[in-house]
Structure 1
Amino acid sequence: MNLENHYKKLYEESISKISSDNYEIDNLIDSEKDKRFGLTLLIRPSNEIKKEIHKFLKKIKKIEPNQYYYPNSDIHITVMSIISCYNGFDMSKIDIQKYIELTKKCLLEGVDLNISFKGITASPSGVMIQGFMDNNELNDIRDRLRKEFKNSNLEQSLDKRYSIQTAHSTIIRFKTELSQKEKFLKFLNKNINYDFGTFKVNKFELVYNDWYQREQYVKKIYEFVT
């Protein structure tokens, strides 16, 4: 996959939808009735990157203060949704040790991976940072996870929603109607190539999480240091 072309196409299609008021508002963000939970393997960017994201969000928040902005604690890259969030997922019903062992097997030793957060893209439901890998290691890990979990008898839903191949990070979700849409879109366009920096991946986290990866709901199950 050519990531640059993929992100560009996604941006153009999504901006067109947002411009014509065909964007998606998430009504579950503030709902206490949202009980969707799952199991995810993720990467967290460095503190330096998070500071840059915070600076960026602070500016856009002044234009659209009522949208959902990811706090530093929740920013992540999904390596793989091992069990996609659904209502009623109960972690006590699975053998978590087997998930740890299988994931460990897929990560191998000495992962050498850098991710650059450069530029933004969008979806009909929010704004994301474009992530670029300096080699194919992340997708090799994903392929090993797919193979190992599909050959196991463990509960999993890998690629159920879509086959993940990017290293993007969602930073804004729409939770209400855009009040200053034109200014918002102008800001995105002006900052389309915003450089958030590059970081070296030195650990992966296996977590129990809600749909939005909010800190108050996330339980770190295991940290794999590479």
Structure 2
Amino acid sequence: MNLESHYKELYDHSISKISSDNYEIDNLIDSDKDNRFGITLLIRPPIEIKEEIQKFIKEIKRIEPNQYYYPNSDIHITVMSIISCYDGFDMKTIDLKKYIELTQKCLLEKREFSITFKGITASPSGIMIRGFMNTNELNDIRDRLRKEFKNSNLEQSLDKRYSIQTAHSTIIRFKTKLSQKEKFLKALDKNINYNFGAFKVNKFELVFNDWYQRDKYVNKIYDFFI
């Protein structure tokens, strides 16, 4: 996949939808009745990258203060949704040890790689940072996870929503109608190539999480270090 082209196509398509008021508002973000939970393998960028993200968020938040903005604690890259979030999932119903062991097996061949956060893209439901890998290692890990989990008898839903191939990070979600849409779009366009920085990946986290990876709901299961 050509990530540059993919991100641009996604941005153009989504901006067109936002411009014509066809964007998606998430009505569950503030709901205390949202019981969607799952298991995810993820990567978290270091604090210096997160602080750069917050600088960008601060600028957008001045224009649209009522949208949902990810705090540092929740910013992540999804490596794979092992069990995609669904209503009522309880990790007490699965054998966590087996999930750790199988994930560890998929990471045994892991090699050091870096991710560069450069520029923004969008979806009809929010704004994301474009992530670029310097090798194909991340997708190799994903392929091993797909193979091993699909050949196991463990509950899993890999690629149920879509087959993930990028290293993006969602940082803004729409939770209400945009109040200053034109200014918002202009700010996005101005920052389309914002350089958030690059980092070496040295840890993967296996977590129990809600739909938004909010820190108050995340329960860390295991850390895998490179």
TM-score (norm 2): 0.99
CA distance in 1, matches of 2:139, 2:161: 17
Match of 1:12 in 2: 12
Match of 2:188 in 1: 188
1:137-168 deviation line (CA, Å, top 9, x unaligned): 00000000000000000000000000000000
1:84-113 deviation line (CA, Å, top 9, x unaligned): 000010100100000000000001155211
- Paired residues in the alignment total 226
1:8-54 deviation line (CA, Å, top 9, x unaligned): 00000000000000000000000000000000000000111001001
Match of 1:50 in 2: 50
Match of 2:78 in 1: 78
Match of 2:202 in 1: 202
Q: 1:9 to 1:224 in 2, by over 3 A?
A: same
CA-based RMSD of the aligned residues comes to 0.6
Query: Is 1:147 paired with 2:185?
Result: no
Match of 2:99 in 1: 99
1:92-131 superposed matches below 5 A: 92-109=92-109, 111-131=111-131
Question: Percent same amino acid among aligned pairs?
Answer: 81
Displacement of 1:72 in angstroms is 0.3
Match of 2:63 in 1: 63
CA distance in 2, matches of 1:111, 1:42: 16
CA distance in 1, matches of 2:128, 2:218: 21
CA distance in 2, matches of 1:60, 1:92: 40
Matched residue of 2:89: which SS? coil
TM-score (norm 1): 0.99
Stretches of structure 2 lacking an aligned partner (at least 5 in a row): none
CA distance in 1, matches of 2:201, 2:192: 24
1:97-140 deviation line (CA, Å, top 9, x unaligned): 00000000001155211000000000000000000000000000
CA contact (8 A) 2:110 2:137 kept: no
Displacement of 1:74 in angstroms is 0.1
| Moved beyond 2 Å, runs of 4+ | none
